[in-house]
Structure 1
């Protein structure tokens, strides 16, 4: 017996959502299988961080921010293999009392702590970032004041980096010979980049947290540049296909922007499926560190928190304490050792700013 027309229609309509749900589920599973760039919670990079400023052209001496042309952040990642913090952790098994408690804190966040390298290698991976407005935003007073930053140089040879940061003399048609002074080292420490997973994808975030080893006390230079002993920022990466809105004149021209793979544009920025336009999301978290390994990558640094406790909150798993422990351990190194690990000629780069003094 055939069902009545109304009954048959209701049955068909009841079946349709189930079929559509199954189809959608299969598509989602297929996409997950082909996505090489999923959001991966936890530490995605750790290493050493350096802060440099460059004086303006023809300014051999700097007396205030008025004489500063640019601020750079240099990230030198450490290998993800085992590191000597693990030795400390093993040693902590034989320590009792307050010392044991301190080592347990380090053990919990040890994945954020870079290794101490006893040998110098000529080639290391590095990433040079130029910071807008010549200073870092202050998490204590500028919570809602993100700044632009751009990856301008990526490589594996520190000698190339030394030339990039060194002085340069060049000729101009109108002003004749001009000289750009070399950069000055204003800070050095350890850092970790950590992905935190929210209860929904839109709540995912990427934080960069650092703790200085040099200097151990802030001077006029560090305060003016917005460098704290310990601080953290939310990092967001701009879609290279996204144009400035509302007539804003920010960001790089299209010819100088990062060129990402088809997989990143599809799976990270969600081209054609996410966001409000066909290009996908205008900004995204750092799903994978590869996003930062492109010259022309445009970033937003959003101030988050300061201090070790602030880093703990931003990075999770007591990683702020781990960074502090390593920073304190490495603070005993001489300035000469810092330039040695960078394979730089220390005579080319004034280091007085590490003492808080303009140079």
Structure 2
């Protein structure tokens, strides 16, 4: 039963993914992961966002852990993001030809961004895999969870050697920049995530968002044929190993 006043700001599909380290085609754990993040695709259209999370996992809920992240890519369609998740080969001056493996889907479900007493929360519930496995355990992708979500004001600077550089941070239009009202963080307007370089903080909050906030996550049964990651993100198995998504295994 919800114990706060809840306003739904946005809902849609969420896709978790990880990319193995360079030359690591057979990852066996989080130590072999180079990057971790998720994609938010709003229901009914809108800006699709690819968001990276520091620590290469989600924050721990029980400890109310805080992890920093940033919006890497915004697009009109989820399919426009897939090209950034493909593998590639490239040349280096000192180490010759190198291979960057393709990103791998690690979870799929639905999400809700809600507002409770002036604080946004990002909540999700998985549809795939049916039974979370080793991958989900190491990346801390619980079957369902909620995180307090706050967006950093790029005009307030950052601690030395922390966060994105000045030229990488979001350049908000004046009207959106005013949403910060001079504060270091804003926690009420989800549109602040609609800019590449937007920095955010996730704080572990609840393990049962439906009960805590009185929201309906509206999950559905999924398989390879109906998977939104396959259909919307086009993360087909010919380009992206899909065992983490369907079996919870690293490869």
Taking structure 1 as the reference length, the TM-score comes to 0.65
Residue 236 of structure 2 is matched in structure 1 by 345
User: Do residues 249 (structure 1) and 161 (structure 2) align?
Assistant: yes
The residue number in structure 1 matching 2:176 is: 264
Instruction: Write the distance in 2 (CA, Å) between the matches of 1:178 and 1:168.
Output: 8
> What whole-Å deviation, never above 9, does each CA across 1:312-356 have from its counterpart, x for those lacking one?
31xx2x21xx21xx22xx22x212322023334331111111211
Which runs of structure 2 are paired with 1:275-290 in the superposition (5 Å)?
280-287=182-189, 289-290=190-191
C-alpha deviations, 1:185-210, integer Å up to 9, x for none?
1100000001123xxxxxx2000100
The C-alpha deviation readout for 1:69-109, integer Å capped at 9, x for no partner, is 110111011018xxxxxxxxxxxxxxxxxxxxxxxxxxxxx
Q: Relative contact order, CA 8 A, sep 6+: which one is greater?
A: 2
Structure in which a larger fraction of residues adopt helix: 1
1:151 aligns with 2:151: no
Match of 1:254, SS state, is coil
Alpha-carbon distance change, 218 to 159 in structure 1, aligned in 2, over 3 angstroms: closer
How many pairs does the alignment contain?
243
Cα displacement string for residues 43-79 of structure 1 (whole angstroms, at most 9, x for unaligned residues): 1110000100100000011111111111011101101
Structure 2 vs 1, CA of residues 63 and 53 (structure 1 numbering), >3 Å: closer, same or farther? same
Bigger radius of gyration among the two: 1
Shift of 1:258: 0.3
Q: For 2:123 and 2:243, how far apart are their aligned partners in 1?
A: 25
Q: For 2:241, what is the secondary structure of its paired residue?
A: coil
Comparing 340-349 with 170-179, greater Cα deviation is found at 340-349
Query: Is residue 299 of structure 1 aligned with residue 200 of structure 2?
Result: yes
State the 1:265 CA deviation: 2.1
Post-superposition offset of 1:295: 0.2
1:239 lines up with 2:149 in the alignment: no
Distance in 2 of aligned mates of 1:290 and 1:344: 26
Is 1:127 the counterpart of 2:92? The answer is: no
Say which SS state the counterpart of residue 31 (structure 2) adopts.
Answer: helix
Where does 1:112-261 land on structure 2 (aligned, <5 Å)?
Answer: 125-140=47-62, 142-143=63-64, 145-197=65-117, 204-245=118-159, 248-261=160-173
Structure 1 equivalent of residue 224 of structure 2: 335
Q: Secondary structure at the match of 2:76?
A: strand
Q: Residue 35 of structure 2 is aligned with which of 70, 74, 79?
A: 70
- Structure 2, gaps ≥5 residues long: 1-5
Question: Which blocks of at least 5 consecutive residues in structure 1 are unaligned?
Answer: 1-40, 81-123, 198-203, 271-279
